Chain A
Amino acid sequence: MQLVMFPLPANIYTEIGAFLTSVICWNHIKSSRLRWLVPFLFLIVFVELSGRYIRKELHEPNAWLYNISIPFEYMFYVFLFVPFYNKKIGKSASQFFLIAFPIWVVLNIVFVQGFYNFNTNFLKIGSFCMIFFCFLVFLELLLSEEMINPFKQPIFWIASGLFIFNAGEFSYNTFADTMMKKWSYGKSLFGQINNNLIFVLYISIIIGITSSIWGQKEKK
């Protein structure tokens, strides 16, 4: 039996590539918070493949899967940034986000948009928050009195990828509701924009993981 979900689009291959890179570089990331990238990226690949399987093979809606995974992604990236924040604003904002965001997501699912509809509200808030938290990472980099080579900072690469990803998605997310309801071409455009930005994001993560090796070599 031939599965119609194959061949996979390029963005899923970059996600698989990022997961494999994190496994290969395990020795270099195991002592930092980056070690959580291994289970996280595994989960991302699993969600992407499952989502595709549900839609292409079972012909069932898969929005519920992304309603769970996307908020989790936002929270994971903030969790990854927390140790990098030295300024009070970064620490407080990230702690607040990690507590308040999941509560708000649950409330939104239960009372506003439902579990089986694609939740666009947390996309809007999430994208905006990601841009804000990436900006805080950049601010830490700018204001640090230590010698920091951004190219050798995994967090810089991850934040850059995330910044571009969310900046790119921001305009779409703002119009998402209108497009989904009134315009069938909207989904396809969303898919194109999203896939290209996913490609950029996971390439940045791959570079970020690899940069941890350069950074460690330089320290030695």
Chain B
Amino acid sequence: MGPKGEEIKVTIIYLTLGFILFALFIILFIIIYRLRLNHHLKEKLAMEMHFKQAILQTQIEIQEQTLKTISQEIHDNIGQVLSLAKLNLNTLLPNETEKLNDTKQLVSKAINDLRDLSRSLHGDRIAELGLQDSIANELKILQNTGQFQTKLYIVGESYKLEPQKEMVIFRIMQEAVNNVVKHAKAGHIDIRILYREDIFDLSIADDGVGFNKDTISPEKTGIGLHSMQNRAALIGAELTINSIAGNGTEINLKLKRA
């Protein structure tokens, strides 16, 4: 190998090393840049989540406040007026006893229904009773209408969740039951609460007409389903809706305990 050959050899070796080092530098740059970008994206995602949660929280607080006001109104005004009407009916002359008794019964029923409605709407009352009893009450009201057969199954040793979480879960249950009443054409509503050590598990099942959740329009129960999902997301619960047209619906909520 002559001096020229040696020169070419050294040049090639240096060039090869130079190119390899350059390639390594580019790869290193990509790794560092990508990891930084990932970190930035993670922070952005966390901020977005936090913002979304804050909006949801505010929406729910406003909704709760509205329900509380309505409940108060029912109790203080309409309830009072009906009670007064009932008192007046008692003081009327007994000319048409049968008609009068019927009217008294209707007014009494209206007072009781309004009281139930007021309790069911009032957040404080739910906190006072606890989730399990509030659900039992809700089912009792439905059972009393005579249109539904309801059952509540409790599995495991019951425990209390944080009051705000219980409130949100109760509202989800109410929304689900409301959907059944309005759309499902069901005869039976079964609620099962499974108290597991690590997970609170609630299922609401009906034997109604069911639906295809992918094709359902927001005008029907779409908004309700969305609202349930939003509420569940707010407390970090996982909500799944299983429904087959003609075979009823089951809504399941799973909440990991802190």
Interface residue ranges, A against B (CB under 8 Å): 135, 138, 141-142, 145-151, 160, 163-164, 167-172, 175, 178-179, 182-183, 185, 189, 193
Binds A, one of B20-28, B157-165, B177-185, B189-197: B20-28
State the main secondary structure of chain A at its contact with B: helix
Is the C-beta of B9 less than 8 angstroms from some C-beta in chain A?
A: yes
With CB as the reference atom, state the residue of chain B lying closest to A168: B20
Q: Which 10 pairs of residues, A with B, have the shortest CB-CB distance?
A: A171-B15, A167-B23, A167-B19, A164-B23, A168-B20, A171-B16, A183-B5, A163-B23, A138-B30, A160-B27
Mask: chain B, 5-38; 1 = CB below 8 Å from A; 0 = not = 1001100110110111011101100110111011
A122 CB to closest chain B CB, in angstroms? 19
Total cross-chain contacts (CB, 8 A): 68
With CB as the reference atom, state the residue of chain A lying closest to B37: A142
> Which of A147, A160, A170 touches B19 (beta carbons < 8 Å)?
A170
With CB as the reference atom, state the residue of chain B lying closest to A178: B8
Complex: A138 Cα to B18 Cα, angstroms = 20
In chain B, positions 128-159 with a C-beta closer than 8 Å to chain A are none
Is the C-beta of B42 less than 8 angstroms from some C-beta in chain A?
A: yes
Docked-complex contact B26 and A185, CB < 8 angstroms: no
With CB as the reference atom, state the residue of chain A lying closest to B21: A167
The total of chain B residues at the interface (CB under 8 A) is: 26
Is the C-beta of B1 less than 8 angstroms from some C-beta in chain A?
A: yes
Docked-complex contact B16 and A148, CB < 8 angstroms: no
Contact A147 B26, CB 8 Å, known A168-B19, A172-B16, A175-B12: no
Is the C-beta of B199 less than 8 angstroms from some C-beta in chain A?
A: no
B18 CB to closest chain A CB, in angstroms? 8
B residues within 8 A CB of A193? 12, 16
B43 CB to closest chain A CB, in angstroms? 11
Is the C-beta of B216 less than 8 angstroms from some C-beta in chain A?
A: no
B residues within 8 A CB of A185? 1, 5, 9
B residues within 8 A CB of A178? 8
Complex: A160 Cα to B28 Cα, angstroms = 10
Docked-complex contact B20 and A164, CB < 8 angstroms: yes
Is the C-beta of B49 less than 8 angstroms from some C-beta in chain A?
A: no
